[in-house]
Amino acid sequence: MNLHPWHTHLLTGHWYSHLPAEFQDSLLGMSRVRRLAPGQRLFQRGDAPCGLYAVLEGAVRIGAVSEQGKEALLSVVESPHWFGEICLFDGQPRTHDAVGVGQCSLLHLPQAALLAFLEEQPVHWRHLALLMSHKLRLTFINLEHLSLMPAPARLAHRLLMIAEGYGEIEPARRILQLPQEQLALMLSLSRQTTNQILKDLQGQGIVHLSYGEIAILDIERLRALTTI
């Protein structure tokens, strides 16, 4: 029986819960908890690889800011999401910035320790490949939607993805701590367009809006919008 204080919490996530018990134990054995203050940067684009992370509490913004100050927000990852695995495979610098949202607690598995373990137990590379391939699949889906879907359908799909923790949690959350400005950045839409779509959804009784929060009232009707 694993007595690590975060083991039970991490079992709520799809990826970790499907790992062999011995790999779960090894990951937790080489980990340490790291805390971020609101707005504190975990790493930025171009930084050297620093390992694998799991969100325990709070959230982390993954994105980048151009030299002109324009922000691209890829996702806001919440518990029990794992991230940072790309650099394990290629050893290249970080591709994006990671910044804490609110008070944030992370489980950190240092790069050197994890690589040394995988050198001895290469069978577990497959599990990390599954973590990465799941995100690659989501990226392809989002690119397709960006090209083919109208804005309301794209917004509905992204709300569902966030509610489901990008495939990590089940059942889906119904209350999303999600400012409209963040949602607009993720979808490459203006804040005005995003606000109008959300108000339309609220008028249909599909969502309820409050400050910094979106409540999903009818998840099946929201899902139906993504097939348009």
What mean pLDDT is predicted for residues 31-38?
Answer: 96
Write down which residue in 140, 168, 198 finishes a domain.
Answer: 140
Task: State which amino acid sits at residue 174.
Answer: R
From residue 204, give the alpha-carbon distance in Å to each of 91, 108, 199, 218, 222.
Answer: 48, 43, 9, 10, 10
pLDDT of residue 1: 56
From residue 201, give the alpha-carbon distance in Å to each of 40, 66, 84, 142, 184.
Answer: 34, 32, 34, 21, 15
Same domain, 221 and 157: yes
Cis peptide, bond prior to residue 171, ω within 30 of zero: yes
Per residue in 121-169, pLDDT tens? 999 999 999 999 999 999 998 888 888 899 999 999 999 999 998 888 8
Residue 1 included in any domain: no
Write down which residue in 140, 172, 200 finishes a domain.
Answer: 140
Burial of 18 (0-12, 13-18, 19+ CB in 10 A): exposed
pLDDT of residue 2: 63
Q: Is residue 228 over pLDDT 60?
A: no
Please tell me the total count of domains within the chain.
Answer: 2
pLDDT of residue 146: 84
Same domain, 28 and 104: yes
pLDDT of residue 53: 98
Residue 61 included in any domain: yes
Q: What is the pTM of this model?
A: 0.89
Same domain, 102 and 39: yes
Per residue in 93-115, pLDDT tens? 999 999 999 899 999 999 999 99
Same domain, 125 and 157: no
Residue 2 included in any domain: no
Note down the domain range covering 36: 7-140
Same domain, 155 and 176: yes
Helix (H, G, I), strand (E, B) or coil at 76: strand
| Mean of per-residue pLDDT scores for the chain | 93
pLDDT of residue 208: 97
Per residue in 169-188, pLDDT tens? 888 889 998 899 999 999 98
Per residue in 52-84, pLDDT tens? 999 999 999 999 887 777 888 889 999 999 999
Number of residues that this document lists for the chain: 228
> Quick one: how far is CA 191 from the chain centroid?
21
pLDDT of residue 3: 63
> Quick one: how far is CA 94 from the chain centroid?
16
pLDDT of residue 227: 79
The CATH number for 95's domain is: 2.60.120.10
Angle, helix 191-203 to helix 151-163, in steps of 10 degrees = 80
